[in-house]
Structure 1
Amino acid sequence: MSQIHTLTMPKWGLSMTEGRVDAWLKEEGQAISKGDEVMDVETDKISSSVEAPFSGMLRRQIARQDETLAVGALLGIVVEGEASEAEIDAVVEQFQASFVPGDGAEEDLGPKPQKVELDGRTIRYFERGSGGIPLLLVHGFGGDLNNWLFNHEVLAAGRRVIALDLPGHGESSKALQRGDLDELSAVLLDLLDHLDIPLAHLVGHSMGGAVSLNAARLAPRRVCSLTLIGSAGLGQEINGDYLRGFVEASNRNALKAPLMQLFSDAELVNRQMLEDMLKYKRLEGVDDALRQLSVSLFTDGRQQADLRAVVQQGERPVLVIWGDADAIIPARHSQGLNARVEILPGQAHMVQMEAAEQVNRLILDFVQTL
């Protein structure tokens, strides 16, 4: 029995409305498997690859190189089994006749951000999926929940997944009290309480890894597992020049050099990314929050928290993911850990964005075996 599948423009993150086709990675007539990268697409945030949600043969490339299309628009046709050209023509004609860009239907595919008051401050979060032990995504220094825009939907297949903006970041309250890990971890645990989640898998990137490690130290019975991506808290070294440059930057030119250190492909640091980051940095309270965190956690370019013992005690499974070209926190901090360690060749600090497919598969394989 044959099936004709429509491959459509995905929605990555809350603000994505369209994408530009950079290149097809598969040719017409080529067999593809579920999860294969089929084409590269550029958005106003970052470039990434569209993965096939099904297996079959790519029978028709609808979208053309350099064409900009709305979220949900038809990119191509994949057929499982046999189908005539006339049958494919009919599916394409019906899709194009009924598709209305921006009619709101595609918005239903995206997570809905929510805000909650926790201990006198506003915390933004969003969640997708249901079932299983929930998974909480914790971003790093200067980031926000959009750092997970290539991970959240995939990880939420059959599982409840939540991402948050830590205090001082995103759309959460900017004011900090002490600006230490205990304060940030307490917010994380308070959010789990609010969402009535007694036990969670924590996935932390960079500073978010240290926040997750510290949450496991403070409330060990609340944390089922830890996934640490380019994590702080596992060694002393950190790129102090990056931190100073990022905190002090007040224009695009000053901000570009620090941000380029985050990625293995420096071209990802485009004008829109710089504008978005500057817009965030100019919000009231952000400058004070970033400086407070930098001084408290990374004094003089040295990490102040040593949380390796949380891993070494072996109270819960730990997955460590690192890019071997990480210029912010060295991958050698993963050595000697009582954990499953995965080093991704050629990848930099934002590995969950640049190597999203690999990272997603590692995380899913890890939590599904627990």
Structure 2
Amino acid sequence: MNTKAQDAFMELDYPYPMDKKEVVKNINIAYADIGKGEPILFIHGMGSYAPAWKKNISELKENFRCVVVDLPGYGKSSKGKFKANMSFHKEHLFALMDSLDIKKFHIAGHSMGAQIAMHMALDNPGRIKSLILSAPAGIETFSEQQKAMFRAITPEQTASVSDEQYRINLEANFHEMPDDAEFMYEDRMMIKESPDFMNYCYTITEGIRGMVNEPVFEKLGDLKPPVLIIYGKQDKLIPNKYLHPEMTTADIAKIANKEIPDSQMELIENAGHFVHFEQPEKTNELIKNFIN
């Protein structure tokens, strides 16, 4: 583990001050605890971090207690060769909420973060008041051959992506990448110089394996809390356009709505995979109405 050489990660400019808690031995989770009211835990997606929720927190903090995290291996949290699968993150997030003395809470999860949120609700439904799933992973299913392709991705491959290709990959997360999302690219340029960058890439590949090794689709019918499902209508990442070219994002959203018992589904126009960032006003309105 290399928890001290986080130079570039620690220098990232965040929209809110981050505290840290050692929730499990030698692993610190960076988090912000903002606002008052019903508590909502915000979980970012793969390769992302807490600032991805900034447009949502800035408004929702007026009505809710917003706990926004950097998952272990990401952002300002501890780095290391963690087995960063769904169970790993679930354990650490429950430990964080215990340390904050928050027994029951809502969860807003994006992409991989939404799959983690579903695991948390399946594991301990009595603690989860509702789920807000933004562009959730875990609904689209894959064959064993396709899963093997994801498992074969290495940290070295993740690290070797060129700057030009990273920009293409980042822009694919949006319907039309807004100017105020440029900080995501700039932050990537900073962290790639960190001694911990390979640990970060290791965490990403473990997350990929975790998503395919710990699927939730067959358990969607067991989800107990009310669920709000949000997809951007122009999501370019879900479904996977290479593996499922015949499917649309609307198809995936309808499957989620059908399989999850107490759920409502919203497709937001002019939004891609980062639907909550690209269309924050609509997303925030949906979250407030849903919880209230």
TM-score range, shorter chain: 0.7 to 0.9
In the TM superposition, 1:7-46 aligns within 5 A as 15=13
User: 349, 355, 358: which one pairs with 2:279?
Assistant: 355
The sequence identity of aligned pairs, in percent, is 26
Q: CA deviation at 1:298?
A: 4.3
Provide structure 2 residue ranges, at least 5 long, that are not aligned to the other structure: 1-11, 240-248
In the TM superposition, 1:303-318 aligns within 5 A as 303-318=212-227
Residue 28 of structure 2 aligns with which residue? Answer: 122
Residues 275 and 159 (structure 1), Cα distance of their counterparts in 2 relative to 1, 3 Å cut: closer
Provide structure 1 residue ranges, at least 5 long, that are not aligned to the other structure: 1-13, 17-109
- Which structure exhibits the higher relative contact order, with contacts defined as CA atoms closer than 8 Å and separated by 6 or more residues? 2
User: 227, 230, 234: which one pairs with 1:321?
Assistant: 230
Q: CA deviation at 1:283?
A: 2.7
Contact 1:325 1:346 (8 Å CA) reproduced: yes
Render the CA deviation track for 1:41-72: whole Å, top value 9, x for unaligned. Answer: xxxxxxxxxxxxxxxxxxxxxxxxxxxxxxxx
User: 262, 273, 278: which one pairs with 2:189?
Assistant: 278
The residue identity in structure 1 corresponding to 2:278 is E
Question: For 1:246 and 1:326, how far apart are their aligned partners in 2?
Answer: 24
Question: For 1:297 and 1:217, how far apart are their aligned partners in 2?
Answer: 20
Within the alignment, does 1:211 sit opposite 2:116 as a pair?
yes
Contact 1:114 1:124 (8 Å CA) reproduced: yes
Residue 192 of structure 1 aligns with which residue? Answer: 97
Question: For 2:224 and 2:106, how far apart are their aligned partners in 1?
Answer: 13
Secondary structure of 1:333's partner?
helix
Contact 2:85 2:209 (8 Å CA) reproduced: no
Contact 1:216 1:310 (8 Å CA) reproduced: no
Q: Which has the higher strand share?
A: 1
Render the CA deviation track for 1:308-356: whole Å, top value 9, x for unaligned. Answer: 3554224110010001211112223222233201011231101111100
Within the alignment, does 1:265 sit opposite 2:184 as a pair?
no
Residues 366 and 281 (structure 1), Cα distance of their counterparts in 2 relative to 1, 3 Å cut: farther
Q: CA deviation at 1:257?
A: 1.2
Q: CA deviation at 1:258?
A: 0.8
Question: For 1:224 and 1:284, how far apart are their aligned partners in 2?
Answer: 39
Residues 349 and 320 (structure 1), Cα distance of their counterparts in 2 relative to 1, 3 Å cut: same
Contact 2:85 2:206 (8 Å CA) reproduced: no
Q: CA RMSD in A?
A: 2.8
Residue 65 of structure 2 aligns with which residue? Answer: 160
Residue 46 of structure 2 aligns with which residue? Answer: 141
Within the alignment, does 1:254 sit opposite 2:173 as a pair?
no
Question: For 1:286 and 1:225, how far apart are their aligned partners in 2?
Answer: 34
Q: Which has the higher helix share?
A: 2
User: 124, 131, 151: which one pairs with 1:226?
Assistant: 131
The residue identity in structure 2 corresponding to 1:341 is M
Question: For 1:297 and 1:255, how far apart are their aligned partners in 2?
Answer: 17
Q: Which has the larger radius of gyration?
A: 1
Moved more, 268-277 or 329-338: 268-277
Question: For 2:157 and 2:43, how far apart are their aligned partners in 1?
Answer: 20
Q: TM (normalized to structure 1)?
A: 0.63
Question: For 1:177 and 1:144, how far apart are their aligned partners in 2?
Answer: 17
Q: CA deviation at 1:115?
A: 0.9
Q: CA deviation at 1:249?
A: 4.3
Contact 2:115 2:136 (8 Å CA) reproduced: yes
Residues 149 and 179 (structure 1), Cα distance of their counterparts in 2 relative to 1, 3 Å cut: same
